[in-house]
Amino acid sequence: MKKYFKWLLNLIVIAAVIAVVIVHGIQSLEAKVLPSFKTLDGFPTPKVEQPERILGPAGEIFEFTTCNRKDLGFTIANAQIPAGAGPLPHIHHYTNEWFWIPQGNLELFQSFNEYPDLNQPATNDKGGRTIVYTLDTQPNQVVYSSKYHVHGFVNTSSETRPLTFVWIQDQTSPIFTLNDGGIRQYFQEVGIPIKDLNNLPQITDEARKKFVTSAPKYGINQSNYFLKYVSSVSNQPPSALLNVSNDQDLNKIIDAINAYNQGDKSVKCF
């Protein structure tokens, strides 16, 4: 009888050890599935004499520079995002976009679903609305958002926060004057020039309206209220969405900016 209990006790101990090993194994497997977000300590800015300052209809205080190097064309905007500001859900067709968020505090959202037809945006009567997944960003994080996804962001803090936008011209884009997929021309058309940073212009109803109505000309579907393209919001993004990146193009961009700043004449920035 005593022998039997000893045997049973041993069995329980062995089973417990196996259970711990299995649970630990699953946990570390999950940890591996979780994405490791790319971060950059700084993002280079092309040293041009006067970046173009524009107030975006969604409240962004933009400083635009565009660079061209052979068939690489991109626009970079160092921006200040006031508390609560940020664009409503939209879709790019001619550009792919990165956000570099030096201080965090911006909540990005993005769909997994893609809407490749400019004439079929994510509305109920066209492409159908979508779930968007939120991502609360950490300081210095870089987030990539490729064309065709519904996305946007909000400054969820109570203070103005910096954000660097980078848009690269997609290969499928028609030719725009600045070779950047039309993004800067879009903001030139719909935004309001800033003459004095300490005395910002008012965002007019007309600017808000044009932000939406002029968008398709530049390959953008821009919604005018949050639930136009969005059916629900989740904070559990599928890992396939989180693992999307485009470091190859991002490195080309960083390379071009650094080359320009070192006097390389093969890069034009303006």
The residues binding Zn ion (CB under 5 A) are 97
- The residue among 135 and 259 lying less far from Zn ion, judged by its C-beta, is 135
- The residue among 98 and 260 lying less far from Zn ion, judged by its C-beta, is 98
Q: Which residue is nearest to Zn ion (CB)?
A: 97
Q: Taking the complex as a whole, how short is the minimal distance between the CB of residue 26 and Zn ion, in angstroms?
A: 37
How many Å apart are CA 66 and CA 192, to the nearest integer?
18
Q: Taking the complex as a whole, how short is the minimal distance between the CB of residue 261 and Zn ion, in angstroms?
A: 26
In sequence order, the 6+-apart residues with CB closer than 8 A to the CB of 48 are: 65, 269, 270
Q: Taking the complex as a whole, how short is the minimal distance between the CB of residue 201 and Zn ion, in angstroms?
A: 22
- The residue among 60 and 97 lying less far from Zn ion, judged by its C-beta, is 97
* 190: nearest Cα among 72, 71, 90: 90
Q: Taking the complex as a whole, how short is the minimal distance between the CB of residue 90 and Zn ion, in angstroms?
A: 6
- The residue count of the chain comes to 270
Q: Taking the complex as a whole, how short is the minimal distance between the CB of residue 154 and Zn ion, in angstroms?
A: 13
Q: Taking the complex as a whole, how short is the minimal distance between the CB of residue 120 and Zn ion, in angstroms?
A: 18
- The residue among 63 and 97 lying less far from Zn ion, judged by its C-beta, is 97
- The residue among 165 and 260 lying less far from Zn ion, judged by its C-beta, is 165
- The residue among 123 and 261 lying less far from Zn ion, judged by its C-beta, is 123
Burial readout 100-111 (b: 16 or more C-beta within 10 A, e: otherwise): bbbeebbbbbbb
